[in-house]
Structure formats: C-alpha cells, structure tokens
Amino acid sequence: MDENLIEAVRSQYQADMKDAVAKIGIEFRNPTKESVYQIRHLVDVFSRSKESASYFEAIVKNLKGEDDEE
C-alpha cells in the first residue's frame, strides 16, 4: 500500500474538518443574517468529513489485514 497516498487522504479529511471549525468561529465572531444557515452547513461538512474519515480508516485497516494474510 502507498502510505503517502493514505496520509494524503487522511490529511484532506483533517483539513476539511479544521476549515469548517475555523469558518464556524468566524461566523460566531462576525454574525450575519445568514450565520445560522452557514453554521448548519459547516457542521454538516464537518460531520460528513469525520464520518468519511472513519470509513476510510476502517477500509485501510481491512486492506492492511488482507495484506498481512498474503
């Protein structure tokens, strides 16, 4: 398995989550009429990234287990 590729995908999920958190912080500091909708959207982005990262880790773990059996 290409560990660099695995790490790149992990990093992208982490970056997506950190970006969502940072943008939520901005909405809290500078609220607008659209902040509620924007925060809800960003929470959704965060949760989808976190869930996808979890699935990705399970897939990698499963594939590594298969590699060990060969």
| Each residue's pLDDT tens digit, 6-29 | 999 999 999 999 999 999 999 999
1 falls in which pLDDT band (50, 70, 90)?
Answer: confident
**The pTM is what?**
0.85
User: What burial letters (b/e) apply to 1-15, b meaning 16+ CB within 10 Å?
Assistant: eeeeebeeeeeebee
Could you list the residue range(s) of the whole structural domain that residue 54 is in? 3-69
State the total domains in the chain.
1
